Amino acid sequence: MTNKTDRIIIFDTTLRDGEQCPGATLNIDEKLVIAKQLARLGVDVIEAGFAFASPGDFEAVKKIAQVVGIENGPVVCSLARAIKADIEAAAEALKPAVNARIHTFISTSDIHLEYQLRKSRAEVLAIAEEMVAYAKSFMTDIEFSPMDAARTDPEFLYQVLERAIAAGATTVNIPDTVGYTTPSEFGAMIKGIIENVPNIDQAIVSVHGHNDLGLAVANFLEAVKNGARQLECTINGIGERAGNASLEELVMALHVRRQYFNPYLGRPEDSQESLTNIDTRQIYKTSRLVSNLTGMLVQPNKAIVGANAFAHESGIHQDGVLKNKLTYEIMDAQLIGLTDNQIVLGKHSGRNAFRTRLKELGFELSDSELNKAFVRFKEVADKKKEISDWDLEAIVNDEIQQAPDLFRVELVQVSCGSNARPTATVTLRTPEGEELTDAAIGTGPVDAVYKAINRVVNVPNELIEFSVQSVTAGIDAIGEVTIRLRYESKVFSGHAANTDIIVASAQAYVNALNRLYASLQTQEKLEEVTAQKV
């Protein structure tokens, strides 16, 4: 494959760079759930993690390689520094994948060389060449990134890329690591690379960028016009600092404006063929899944997937849309999988109808997962007459994508009112199976519930974010609660959905505490192992 390809390769790094966002830590099962959905979405490459970074990351990469890296599935990739141990860990974790890629990198900007690596340009050239060749000894698909390329001297950048390609790199990725560049500058950089690296036709040119100035998507689109053919992005644009380039924005920009981009990819201007392999109808579902599992909410005015993306309040806009959608909408909401809130099931619906509808919505559940979700569905159906597709998604996401099942909410009871002191009683089942009950008074019912839970769990933490969203309209709507709490320097998220907001709040809080509790247990085990070795 060369830069003459007439389509854009979508490289998703939600599970690697996206997960580096504070509070977005995912366990192995959650990463696997997202990886399966990314495969359904149609991404070409999944960067599953940084195998050398931790035992957890290694196992996540290995599990995704086993389950998702199948014939006709996406390429599964692991990041690795230009160090032999990193590359070896990546190669080992990726062994189960039919199509695998090692993505190795080293800094190239003078500021990174002086203050981070403390190496000369000659040393970096030699390391890049040697480590790409070493990675090539394990597999054929190798990606190389000169970190902080946007601030690297162009002539030195050309040399590094030429040596990396000669050593076996099949993709060379140009990162705007600190989100510093602008569209015209980035486009010119890509053009300069293609014109000045002699063997560039032997590799795909990729781009990776952060959104510190809000320009990541614009930078990538300009890069496409100048020869980039792989885009490294994340769902909802999550990632370090201000995040990464947003997958859904890039894909839909290329889709809606394909007549504009067609000539840059050597296609007839009027070609209707998609510029990517993405199934756009899976975009909204993928966005919701990542938001739920990471606890990173999507702001209402977010392009493509925000709650207001297809809403019209202005009278002029409403009048125009009613007469013809094209007056104020440049794309159909159904194109991203955002369908009308159609009623599909009720309390008399059976297990087979439930399973069938979930399959239509893209959920492939095991028998045990289906049983758990069906029990929850029946509980909700007894309280809510009309069950929509959005309700079903909330039920399934909440029931089968849980935090570690350590503490479990058994009872929540509150007393509150305009002239009463909010009081909550909670019963939790502990990891040992014991039921503990406690009560507390708070400034409101949720505050009282959280104080009572803290008395039972007894793990210090600071609640830093609490958010409630309605899944559907109506007084009986399912409410989703997302919370984030901090312990020392780490942030943990929790999510839950219920027709009772107080119950959802308790479950979301316990989910986050379970993640915190599991993290503390893991840390204790690591300390025990270290002590034994000493």
Q: Are 413 and 506 in contact (CB under 8 A)?
A: no
Residue 98 sits at φ, ψ, to 5 deg, of -65, -45
Residue that the structure tokens 């009048």 belong to: 319
For Cα atoms 308, 220, 184, give the angle at the middle one, nearest 5 degrees: 115
The pTM score is 0.80
pLDDT at 324 over 90: no
The letter for the amino acid at 263 is: P
Please state which architecture CATH assigns to domain 9-294: Alpha-Beta Barrel (3.20)
Please state which architecture CATH assigns to domain 408-525: 2-Layer Sandwich (3.30)
CB proximity list for 158: less than 8 A, separation 6 or greater: 192, 193, 196, 197
Q: Which residue has the higher pLDDT, 530 or 295?
A: 295
- What letters, b where the CB count within 10 A reaches 16 and e where it falls short, cover 66-88? ebbbeeebbbbbbbbbbeeebbb
Q: Which helix (H) or strand (E) holds 33?
A: helix 28-41
Q: What is the pLDDT of residues 169-200, one digit of tens each?
A: 999 999 999 999 999 999 999 999 999 999 99
Q: Are 481 and 449 in contact (CB under 8 A)?
A: no
Q: Are 412 and 445 in contact (CB under 8 A)?
A: no
Band of pLDDT at residue 8, cut at 50, 70 and 90: very high
Residue ranges with strand state E in 192-315? 204-209, 230-233
* Closest listed residue to residue 49, CA positions, set 102, 99, 98: 102
Token couple for 122? 């000659």
Band of pLDDT at residue 94, cut at 50, 70 and 90: very high
Band of pLDDT at residue 311, cut at 50, 70 and 90: low
CA atoms of 47 and 31, how far apart (whole Å):
11
- Break the chain into its structural domains and give their ranges: 9-294, 343-399, 408-525
Q: What is the pLDDT of residue 236?
A: 96
Band of pLDDT at residue 475, cut at 50, 70 and 90: low
Q: Are 484 and 403 in contact (CB under 8 A)?
A: no
Q: Are 51 and 76 in contact (CB under 8 A)?
A: no
According to DSSP, the β-strands at 423-429 and 435-441 are antiparallel
Residue 245 sits at φ, ψ, to 5 deg, of -60, 135
* Closest listed residue to residue 7, CA positions, set 259, 260, 229: 229
Q: Are 89 and 48 in contact (CB under 8 A)?
A: no
- If you write DSSP's letter for every residue of 339-385 in order, what string do you get? ----EEE-TT--HHHHHHHHHHTT----HHHHHHHHHHHHHHHHH-S
Q: What is the pLDDT of residue 533?
A: 46
* Closest listed residue to residue 357, CA positions, set 368, 343, 369: 343
Q: Which residue has the higher pLDDT, 132 or 342?
A: 132
Band of pLDDT at residue 318, cut at 50, 70 and 90: very low
Q: What is the pLDDT of residue 155?
A: 97
Residue 380 sits at φ, ψ, to 5 deg, of -70, -40
For Cα atoms 216, 217, 222, give the angle at the middle one, nearest 5 degrees: 100
Average pLDDT of the residues of the chain: 87
CA atoms of 478 and 383, how far apart (whole Å):
10
Of the CA atoms within 13 Å of residue 324, those in its CB half-sphere come to 2
Q: Are 28 and 61 in contact (CB under 8 A)?
A: no
pLDDT at 244 over 50: yes
Q: Is 449 helix (H, G, I), strand (E, B) or coil?
A: helix
Q: What is the DSSP letter of 207?
A: E
